[in-house]
Amino acid sequence: MNATPLHVSRFLLLLLLAYAFSVAVRFIWVYQFSGSPDFYWNDQIMINTNDGYAFAEGARDMMAGTCNPRDLSYCGNPLAALTALLAKVLPVSFETLILYMPAFIGSLLVVPLMLIGRTLGNDYLGFIAALLGGITHSYYNRTMTGYYDTDMLTIVLPTLVLYSLIAAATYGRNRYLLLLPLFIIANSWWYPQSYSLSLAMTGMVLLYTLIFERRNLFFYKILIFMLLSMALMAWYLKLLLALALFGAFHYLPKASTRSVIFALLAAAAALMLLTGGFAPVIAQLQGYLFRSLHADDLNLTLRYFDVVQTVREAGQIPFDVFAARISGATLTFLFALLGLGLLMWRHKVMLLALPMVGLGFIAFEAGLRFTVYAVPVMALGMGYFILFGAQLLEKFIFIDRTLHVSRILFVTLATAAALYPNIDHIVEYKVPTVFNKEEVKVLDDLGRIAGREDYVVTWWDFGYPIRYYSDVRTLIDGGKHTGKDNFATSFALTQPPLPGANMARLDVEYTERGFDTNHSDNLLTAMRDYNQSDLDAFLASLGTPEFTPPASTRDVYLYLPLRMMSIFPTVALFSNLDLRSGAAKERPFFYNTAAFKDAGAMLHLGNGIALDKGKGVIMLGQQQVPLAQFVTVAYDAQGKVQKNIQNLHANGALNLIYLKSYNQFLLLDHAVMESLYIQLFVLEQYDPALFEGVIMTPWAKVFKLKR
């Protein structure tokens, strides 16, 4: 394949084709869900990531001028700010904007990939890499239509930094030095966690310089600009310093002497270290690699459950999954790896891409979310492998005309083969929207009932969407969910209604006080205010009529959705522990199934569990456990709950609930049966002195706390 750079017009045509392909593939999901009215709200398909609602809320509040730190709104966040700006200038609805931004902005990854190919002297290399990189598993998953999140630029910007490095190292011209601080500063602004990657790339440039270019002063200039960009100071100060240095290097010949360059290098390194240096990296390592079993240890008193233990993205992954997420399939991953090795052998400047590859490869230990960083570089490797294969083909074909056709055919078929597993994944990756229309209607109605300073108590999975659709406050969400944050909500949802109600009021009021007093732990502060030193005694007191909750300063609502049913055991983990030791208590029994089979005398519930109808006994393998109650719950034509309760054994240890309208069974011990969630959402049994049913639907129910 001809390695001579194409005319600019042809290059731009290839760039446009790669971009259009990347965007078009992302419309497959839109086509698949366009005929599903349950996924529409305000005449548009809703987004499919919970975190997206945090940025949407921030953009909405910025446009409305209602930003308040107590709302936990993402006002001022880069994505929220960009969205607010685009919403003012683009003639589309806000829902349409946040739906399609990931597709159009995430597809910009093709730009640096094609620019890298052109810098290396082969536009076809960049084109193939752009086709692959733009739609590979992990990158597509995090930039698909509807995945409204910072990921839409999280890989684009580091790849632009890589391009600027390769261009500066290849051309050795001062003009490329200015690209480095621009992209590094933009990357740090957009995604502050990228500091570790930027530092690794700086270290790689230093190593590359010492090994290959130690006599080349231009590489020390590159290091100066990178170190300056890494300083933890205001972005505009770094940019002004970069502009001043660029002007000096470009217009003052004496500024490029060896002594001046090394003095500036020392000054830039000192500035970077004095303003923070490695502090962000150490913080990230503690979060991802040095996990403790307990997230908080306040005053060596309370040990809470670590939320990282429940997050799949932070766990190890099998090799085939790892390979597929980076290159589409195991075979293409191996070919891409070989191609990358050949590319680095042919163009040693590509060694500067190793930090991105390395960050992607630590997914074995740090979790699947990191695989995406290796995608663009491995796409370049696959592109080079295909072109290298075409060059080998030339040795077996001697007729020029046949050679030309065969070469084009080989590259086309090989590229299509590499694209196939990724497109197949995209067709099968039918991610639903976060909520359906009926659930959003509940939240929309709640927003008309509750005030902006009222609180909604629910699990953190639903925090961001609730704040967006209902415009209320929440205790926990996708960003605020440490062990101490989650404990109170977990306690409220999984304990009986009385202590649950008291804990909900307690945590809301102490959360509000915390904005003024800045105390670190609501539970510890409440114990102090209630003159309690015994933790167990204090928690037990919440379930007594004598307990007096804090005075109400705002309304509190409980949002109890059907969706919480599947995660109820996880919710319980955060409060079902001894806070002094951090040890988990005996887990309550909760089994939920829709995969059952009625075999006459026996009702098989799956996983070796069955109900002997005649005896009223649950068979847990070889163990027989008598049932205390068999409850049938269904909704009538008016949407009202109808219950049929059969009392079976006075000494029964378990309860079986048939959710007829959902066609599911719940097998519960007494503790779960008495929990606030089961009593209020499933059975609608509650004390009207404690709760008021505000919105009651089969999808979700909202109760107002009356104390």
The amino acid present at 231, given as its one-letter code, is A
Q: Is 619 helix (H, G, I), strand (E, B) or coil?
A: strand
Q: Using CA atoms, how far apart are residues 534 and 81, in angstroms rounded to an integer?
A: 47
- Closest-CA residue to 56 (of 41, 34, 36): 41
- Closest-CA residue to 389 (of 336, 434, 465): 336
* Planar angle of CA 224, 229, 254, nearest 5 degrees: 30
In this structure, how many other beta carbons lie within 10 angstroms of the beta carbon of residue 271? Answer: 18
Query: Do the domain assignments include residue 357?
Result: yes
Query: pTM of the full predicted structure?
Result: 0.91
Query: Do the domain assignments include residue 211?
Result: yes
The residue out of 428, 447, 480 marking a domain boundary is 428
Q: What is the pLDDT of residues 40-76, one digit of tens each?
A: 999 999 999 999 999 999 999 999 999 999 999 999 9
Residues 194 and 232 reside in one and the same domain: yes
Q: Using CA atoms, how far apart are residues 74 and 236, in angstroms rounded to an integer?
A: 22
Residues 261 and 328 reside in one and the same domain: yes
Q: Could you tell me the residue range of the domain that residue 674 belongs to?
A: 590-694+701-705
Residues 359 and 470 reside in one and the same domain: no
Residues 164 and 243 reside in one and the same domain: yes
The residue out of 428, 459, 488 marking a domain boundary is 428
Residues 481 and 360 reside in one and the same domain: no
Q: What is the structure's pLDDT at 368?
A: 78
- Phi/psi region, residue 487 (left: phi>0; alpha: psi -120 to 50; beta: rest), is alpha
Beta strands 40-41 and 602-606 are unpaired
Query: Do the domain assignments include residue 581?
Result: no
Residues 143 and 280 reside in one and the same domain: yes
Q: Is 455 helix (H, G, I), strand (E, B) or coil?
A: strand
Give, in order, the Cα–Cα distances in Å from 353 to each of 64, 182, 294, 334, 340.
42, 18, 36, 18, 10
Q: What is the structure's pLDDT at 289?
A: 46
Query: Do the domain assignments include residue 2?
Result: no
Q: Which of 391-400, 506-515, 540-549 has the lowest mean pLDDT?
A: 391-400
The residue out of 539, 573, 607 marking a domain boundary is 573
Residues 115 and 184 reside in one and the same domain: yes
Q: What is the pLDDT of residues 590-644, one digit of tens each?
A: 999 999 999 989 999 999 999 999 999 999 988 999 999 999 999 998 889 999 9
Query: Do the domain assignments include residue 661?
Result: yes
pLDDT bracket for residue 487 (50, 70, 90):
very high
Give, in order, the Cα–Cα distances in Å from 704 to each of 454, 500, 556.
11, 13, 6
Give, in order, the Cα–Cα distances in Å from 139 to each of 151, 190, 357, 420, 594.
9, 17, 14, 15, 34
- Closest-CA residue to 116 (of 177, 174, 163, 171): 163
Query: Do the domain assignments include residue 683?
Result: yes
- CATH number (domain holding residue 451): 3.40.1380.40
Matching residue, tokens 């067709």? 427
Residues 636 and 680 reside in one and the same domain: yes
Q: Using CA atoms, how far apart are residues 705 and 707, in angstroms rounded to an integer?
A: 6
Q: Using CA atoms, how far apart are residues 346 and 355, in angstroms rounded to an integer?
A: 19
Residues 408 and 500 reside in one and the same domain: no
Q: What is the pLDDT of residues 192-220, one digit of tens each?
A: 988 889 999 999 999 999 999 999 999 99
Residues 274 and 320 reside in one and the same domain: yes
Q: What is the structure's pLDDT at 578?
A: 87
Query: Do the domain assignments include residue 341?
Result: yes
Query: Do the domain assignments include residue 601?
Result: yes
Residues 648 and 524 reside in one and the same domain: no
Considering its fold, how many domains does the chain have in total?
3
Residues 411 and 452 reside in one and the same domain: no
